[in-house]
Structure 1
Amino acid sequence: MVSTLSFHDFSWRGDRKWETASRWTVYGPIVVCFILLFSIVQIACGSIWVVQLGSNLSVPMIIQTLLIPGCSFFNAIPSIHLHMLLRNNPPKLALWFSSIFVIVYLTSAILSLAICVPSPTHIPTGLRHAECPQGIPGGPQHGVSRAIWDIMLVFQFFSVVAYAVHGAMAWKVRSVLKAKRESGEVEVVDPDEEERRRQRARDLWKQNYRMEGL
């Protein structure tokens, strides 16, 4: 892989629309960076979880432990690119993705808690052995460790909060832009500078995310 990454257009302040919409929406790029960090932690824990499950491994567990945080990771990368390099992150797009991940992560976390409640009477044994940590009443003797299970669950809830905050920011930015359009207020933007930044960001994306020599 050939990398010619340049941070000439990089900015922690990100998209000007997000920066000017409200005092708190300017932190959108920071929130996305936390989302990326949370996904990396979950992928690491999910990998350990899969190894510890052994013969109890199933397709749903691969989805929950690796696929979901993996999708979050690959969503965060282009989102950071839009925020900090292209500096033009459409709020509607951010709102859609944030809403989807809030639902997915919240469902996954609640499912883990519901399945692993003490003394279950209606939860299949195989499901508890795959989903629940060692040592809980009615749980598996061999499986994921309690520490990994706890970390995974905590970071799932962290992701729920982070995506909810990012979605709320996107909603705020979208509302502000809509109000400006309805009032006829138009923000003056240098078209040459905007196009230059867009083109450079596109070039950086192509140069740094293509595989060569394969």
Structure 2
Amino acid sequence: MLSVGLTGGIGAGKSEVARLLVEHGAVLVDSDAIAREVVQPGTPGLAAIVETFGTGVLAEDGSLDRPRLGSIVFADPGRRAALNAIVHPLVRERSAELAAAAPPDAVVVHDVPLLTENGLAPLYDLVLVVDVPPATQLDRLVRLRGMTDEDARARMAAQATRDERRAVADILIDNDVPLERLQRTVSDIWAELRQRARASVRGGAQA
């Protein structure tokens, strides 16, 4: 099995790269999706959040009111750290379960938005970083996601810098290009990932 970390700044197009890799046959472990899964109603994760932040972070149906919780933790690093201490261990545990269920020769792509910020690069055999200039990120967030310029800049500032992300990359994916070129790039990268995954199986058998 080849374990691949995939990351990129907000608006870089990481989700599109993940989608293309899945089309080629990758097993995707999506940290954002898992983070939502582990705080569903009835889970220990949601119970721990309510214990820490109070019932005010719940919607009327008993589910987590993510925007309300976000408004609390986004403005307070201490509260954000408290939330991360609850959610991150649960995400890691579930991610490990999903990866363990993959075939021996699989390419398992871990979509991790905060891979750089949390120092997770050493956990993976390879790290793919989807890269665009900050001006492109800002344009996409405002034009495509409907954010205000101020909100978009704040979200970008809360993440690692472009240089910090590039520093952890084993493979850098330029996504400031037309979709057709991105598709060709991902196809080429996939061929390399498959080759490495097969080699890891052969190496394990010889050992």
The TM-score range, normalised by the shorter chain, is under 0.3
Q: TM-score, normalised by structure 1?
A: 0.24
Structure of higher CA gyration radius: 1
Q: Which structure has greater strand proportion? A: 2
Q: TM-score, normalised by structure 2?
A: 0.25
Q: Which structure has greater helix proportion? A: 1
